[in-house]
Every structure is written in C-alpha cells, then in structure tokens.
Amino acid sequence: MAEEQKLMRKGEEAEADIRGDVLESILCHVPLIHLLPASHVSKSWNHAVFSSLSHFNKPKPWLLVHSQSSRPPYATTALAYDPRSNLWLRIHQKPPIEYVSALRSSNSTLLYMLSLSKFSFSVDPLHLTWHHVDPPLVWRTDPIVAMVGRHIIVAGGSCDFEDDPLSVEIYDLDSRKWETCESMPAILKESAASMWLSVAANTKKLYAMEQVSGVTYSFDPSSRIWSGPFDLRHDQSNYFSVIGISGDSLIMVALLGNSDDVKDVKVWEVKGESFELCKEIGLMPKELVEKLKGEQTILSSIKISLMEDVLYIYNPEEPEELVVCDFNGKGVCWWGSLKNEAVSDRSRVAERMVLTRADVGFGDIGKAVGSRKGSFSILNEGILQ
C-alpha cells in the first residue's frame, strides 16, 4: 500500500510539472488514437486533451480504404489515413466483416453488399456495425446506391430478365421496409448502373450524373420525384466527370482532352436550383496528372472520395497514388499526392478496393475500443508530396 501511494505521489508530481498550455501544445502532436488513454490520466489531462482537439489540432475526416480478397473466404481488411496525425492506421475489426457479395461504396460513408438473399450495409464512421436486411424486390447486379437522410436509395442496375431496368426502391431505416417509387428517367436507360453513373448525396437529395455526357438528374426521396436533365459539362473538351458533395455545393472533377492525351484535370463547384452557377476552383498541376496516370499511357476514368474541403482523386487502374486537393470557398489552397498504403503487388491482382470517408471523432474511437469491436495500430507515416 505504501508503495502504491508513493507511485501515485510521483504521478501527481509529474502531472504538476506539465499542465496548461504547455500540455495542450504537446498533446496536439499526439495521434488521435493515443489521446484516448491520455484522457484517462486525470481530470486536468482530460481537459487538456479536449482543449487541444478544440483549439490546436482539430480532428479531420479520415480516409478509409477497404480491401476485399477475391478468393474464399473473401476476407476484408481496413486501413485508415488520419490527416490530423499524418498516419496510416490498421483497423482491427472484431468480428471480421461477414461476406455477402462484392464490397461496394458510392463516394460516401455508406458501405454495402448486395446478394439475391440479403442486403448488408454499414453507415457508422468506422464500419464496425453491420445491418442485414431482406434484399430489394427487384434483383440488381450493379445499381447505384446512396444514403439520403434516413433513406437508402437503390436504383437501376437490374438484370436483363427484369421488366423495368430503371426501377427504384427505397429502404426506410426507421420502418425497416422497402418501398417502390418512380423509375429513373428514360434517358438513363442505357446507363442506369454504377459503372456509368457518378453518384453524390446530401441529407435531402441524390444526384446521378452520366460520367461521359455530363447529363445529371436529382432525386428527392421525400417527394419521390426526379428532376432534370441538367448539363454539367461546361467545357466541351470534358470527356469524363465524377461528382461529390462539399457542404451545400456539388463538386465536379473532370478529365479534359481524351483518354490518350489528357490536357487537364479540373475541379468545379456547382450551385443553384438548375446548377447554373459553375465556378472553376482548381487545376491539377501537370506533374500530378502524370502521377495519376501511373505507368499507363492512357487515363480513361477516375474516382474520388470527398468530405468537407478535402478531395482525394485516384485512377482505379493505378491506385498507388492518391492526388489530394485541399480547397475552400476561394478555390484550391493546396495540391499534393499521398502514397496509398493499401496497395501492394498482390493487392492489385487479388483484392477489390473500396474507399469511404468519415468524420471520426474522439467518441468514435472510444466507442470502438470500449465495445471491443475495433482496435487500432499504426502502420506508418503518410508520405505526402
């Protein structure tokens, strides 16, 4: 007992040596996942941890890279890049994700798998909790899927033997029931699949854009009405586009020129009821365009992952480098590239890779560790250039 009291006194003396602004400035350099045990040292340390997160080095949205093996038992692994700490982390999921079908996402926090017998999805930031429900009434192989408010919208992508290739169904998270509604616009009949459409969603609407033509429609799950078409291809040399959501704006990233000769990669901010307000906010530096192409001589498509004001752009055929675009209301502040730690020679052939973004806060880490559903380990520092 005397020895324990002596150790406690030593801890209190050490705590007295480091406190206030000095402690907070030190904690701002500590990785987010290591702040959890630091917050339990004492009340003053707990206050310093939260003060540091509020004023010195605030949490930033994580980029999560999910890799699913193409061989039985189709194991899934997850890495995360924390830009606040500039660290790649390995997320240890307990239990591992149950295989249902190919793992998919749609440039959002929604992760899902769809089979003939089950629709499985996860919406929590770290994807540690999965929900398993009956599949949509119409069998689909490659639909667009997005979460709008408390609804998950599944549209198009149906098999050839189905009567309506443009059918739309909505899963209500509260009633836990599927509802059918107005089909997708007829003009999308030949492109009503995630292979051909880029999808973005906020809390009120879903946006679907043909990646080649730029023709865009919006869907309101409350009114069950499709609106459009809107033409987002403001530059006629645009041969491929994708969209995402940042705040109240639609963000469009486009390849200009042709797949054999990419002239530019541009970023636009699009606003207005009919998307009539379009402002160019970024032009990718030439050296990053070359990194995006990788070892290939052509660049036929890109994918993006966007949350708040940070945009990751990558080539699905050469995903080793992620081009990073950090912007605000005045335009792009910074361009760079980040090495994708999830990519290896083996993973390029044997694994399916899906990216999601999430606001991972201190509470999410505490909940994961406390529930024992997840734990974290540092892989290495991010290589930003």
Q: Tell me the two tokens of residue 17.
A: 């040596």
- Cα–Cα dist 270/343, whole Å: 33
CB of 323 within 8 A of CB of 305? no
Q: What type of residue is 18?
A: I
- Cα–Cα dist 201/246, whole Å: 10
Q: What is the total residue count of the chain?
A: 385
Supply the DSSP string of 35-95, one letter for each residue.
HHHHTTS-HHHHHHHHHHHHHTS---PEEEEEEEESSTT--EEEEEEETTTTEEEEEEESS
The 3-state DSSP class for residue 310 equals: strand
385 residues of the chain, pLDDT tens digit each? 343 344 334 444 445 456 667 788 888 888 999 988 888 888 888 888 888 888 888 889 999 999 999 888 899 999 999 999 999 999 999 888 999 999 999 878 899 999 999 999 999 999 999 999 999 999 998 999 999 999 999 999 987 666 788 999 999 999 999 999 999 999 999 999 999 999 999 999 999 999 999 999 999 999 999 999 999 988 889 999 999 999 888 999 999 999 999 999 999 999 888 888 888 999 999 999 999 998 888 999 999 999 988 999 999 999 999 999 998 766 777 899 999 999 875 555 557 899 999 999 888 999 999 999 999 999 988 777 6
Q: Which helix (H) or strand (E) holds 291?
A: helix 286-293
pLDDT at 161: 65
What is the signed CA dihedral for 106, 195, 354, 269, rounded to 10 degrees? -50
* Residue 48 backbone phi and psi in degrees, to 5: -65, -40
pLDDT at 4: 37
Q: Which helix (H) or strand (E) holds 231?
A: strand 225-231
Sheet holding 310-315, edge to edge: 303-307, 310-315, 318-328, 331-339
Please calculate the CA angle 154-159-162 and round it to the nearest 5 degrees: 90
Say what the pTM is.
Answer: 0.90
The 3-state DSSP class for residue 228 equals: strand
Q: Which helix (H) or strand (E) holds 224?
A: none
Q: Which residue from 197, 209, 206 is spatially nearest to 153, judged by alpha carbons?
A: 206
pLDDT at 170: 97
Q: What is the residue whose two structure tokens read 């602004």? A: 21
Mention every residue, 6+ apart, whose C-beta is less than 8 A from residue 322: 63, 312, 313, 314, 337, 338, 339, 340
